[in-house]
Chains A and B, each alone.
Chain A
């Protein structure tokens, strides 16, 4: 494990709208931090030795870093389109590697078995070929032309549809999913997975959404996503080993796993190994 490469990245540590002066005591990569508002109502993050950490407010969340970020928090241009509703889903604590949480988010083949009758259903289990690349100009992992049959793709969907997905990994513990938007076929719904690495084997997952959906009550939107992530948690807490194996040999991928293969390769290339297992045991 090396923290160095990942220490300069931004991580989500709370929901901006829920900050208070009392603060949230939490961990970032093993270091105790406090996320609070200061006397002026500004977000403030304090590190373990009392030092003030950098802060950004983006996508409904507070972001910080233990190191010196070389870039701003990654852009999501679609999130700034007018007319979207923003959904702070909340937090799901998962006893797994932050990298395993992201990898699960990139996976569609589990839908019929883990999110049965919601995001997938037998016998519609086949994963069609899709495109995966590491985009060198932006240094992100992208999967496009991902299609899957879904009984209820979104809260706003009625009946089964073949949903199209695009996945992005713009940071080692964050992923952005673009998904067919039932009420507006020409646009994409944005669903993100922001993962706060508490330790190498424990994380807080902060899903966030920017949707074109003016009808569904906020509570229902939140419940829908929480249901999905709690189903994922039952998997993530029972994978062995808890760390994500980056070396081949420990786990066997197939064509359906090309996004995960690219993600692991990208992590390894950048030495993003906090939460990873490097030598097959």
Chain B
């Protein structure tokens, strides 16, 4: 784990994968979360469970500045408080109905979520452009071995001699989430090549993991 120096911040997704008016599932050490962006562009992260009937909120929908549960349409504001219960349109939902929320920050095209309350900010990754995300069954040490270098305190793995940079975070389901980032200016051909290189690295890391070579 590389949580010692990044505090409780986890890089959960790339900004490009969460357009305005959408919700996606993500994971942090505290569990599954619903990560959503309102139509005006405000980011929010809430526990992935509607307190009404336990439905996963990441299956829900975003309308305006609220996230709604797909089961009964209960709507939640950015702060996690329920603001609308469609079965009772005249009712102002009590303050006690709320989904737990988490601090969320976006910098350099990466979305970070903090599992706990924190005064810290997520690390700033200078000069890197996000390309894509992928998950793997390989652990971080297998990825380090495949890349031939260790991860930095921020969770960055930089294989020598290329434009490629991997931002890795271990998930509590045993998988590793990898954000592929690129250094400097790149052409579309560079980006395609980097994407393939990242896939080869992942395959190599998974082979190592399977053989139990990773230490």
> Would you give the 0/1 interface string for B81-107, flagging 1 where the beta carbon is closer than 8 Å to chain A?
000011111010000110000000000
In the complex, chain B residues whose CB is within 8 Å of the CB of A122: 73, 86
Given contacts A110-B71, A113-B70, contact A256 B55 (CB under 8 A): no
A151 at the B interface (CB under 8 A): no
B88 and A110 form a contact (CB under 8 A): no
Most buried by A among B48, B51, B55: B55
* Distance from A263 Cβ to chain B, minimum over Cβ atoms (Å): 13
* Distance from A238 Cβ to chain B, minimum over Cβ atoms (Å): 4
CA distance in complex: A127, B88 (Å): 7
In the complex, chain B residues whose CB is within 8 Å of the CB of A37: none
Query: Who on chain B is nearest to A234 by CB?
Result: B59
B72 at the A interface (CB under 8 A): yes
Interface size on B, residues (CB 8 A): 22
Q: Which of B52, B86, B87, B89 contacts A252 (CB 8 A)?
A: B52
Query: Who on chain A is nearest to B73 by CB?
Result: A113
CA distance in complex: A126, B97 (Å): 19
B54 and A254 form a contact (CB under 8 A): no
CB within 8 Å of B: which of A90-127? 107, 109-110, 112-114, 122, 125-127
Given contacts A127-B87, A127-B88, A256-B88, contact A110 B72 (CB under 8 A): yes
Query: Who on chain B is nearest to A256 by CB?
Result: B87
A239 at the B interface (CB under 8 A): yes
**A/B pair count, beta carbons within 8 Å:** 66
Interface size on A, residues (CB 8 A): 24
> Closest 7 A-B residue pairs measured CB to CB?
A125-B86, A256-B87, A109-B87, A127-B87, A238-B56, A239-B54, A240-B54
Can you give 21 contacting A-B residue pairs, CB < 8 Å?
Answer: A109-B86, A110-B72, A112-B73, A114-B70, A127-B87, A235-B70, A238-B55, A238-B59, A239-B54, A239-B56, A240-B55, A240-B56, A250-B54, A252-B51, A252-B52, A252-B96, A253-B52, A254-B85, A254-B91, A256-B72, A256-B87
**Chain B interface mostly helix, strand, loop or mixed?**
loop
* Distance from A227 Cβ to chain B, minimum over Cβ atoms (Å): 17
CA distance in complex: A235, B59 (Å): 9
In the complex, chain A residues whose CB is within 8 Å of the CB of B91: 254
In the complex, chain A residues whose CB is within 8 Å of the CB of B72: 107, 109-110, 113, 256
CB within 8 Å of A: which of B92-148? 96-97
A241 and B55 form a contact (CB under 8 A): no
**Chain A interface mostly helix, strand, loop or mixed?**
loop
A113 and B89 form a contact (CB under 8 A): no
* Distance from A16 Cβ to chain B, minimum over Cβ atoms (Å): 34
Q: Which of B55, B85, B89 contacts A235 (CB 8 A)?
A: B55
A255 at the B interface (CB under 8 A): yes
CA distance in complex: A107, B72 (Å): 10
B49 at the A interface (CB under 8 A): yes
> Would you give the 0/1 interface string for A217-241, flagging 1 where the beta carbon is closer than 8 Å to chain B?
0000000000000000011001111
In the complex, chain A residues whose CB is within 8 Å of the CB of B71: 110, 113-114, 235
CA distance in complex: A181, B89 (Å): 28
Q: Which of A114, A125, A241, A245 contacts B89 (CB 8 A)?
A: A125
In the complex, chain A residues whose CB is within 8 Å of the CB of B85: 254
In the complex, chain B residues whose CB is within 8 Å of the CB of A113: 69-73, 86
Given contacts A110-B72, A238-B59, contact A251 B86 (CB under 8 A): no
Q: Which of B56, B59, B88 contacts A126 (CB 8 A)?
A: B88
In the complex, chain B residues whose CB is within 8 Å of the CB of A125: 73, 86-87, 89
CA distance in complex: A109, B88 (Å): 10
In the complex, chain A residues whose CB is within 8 Å of the CB of B56: 238-240
CB within 8 Å of A: which of B150-207? none
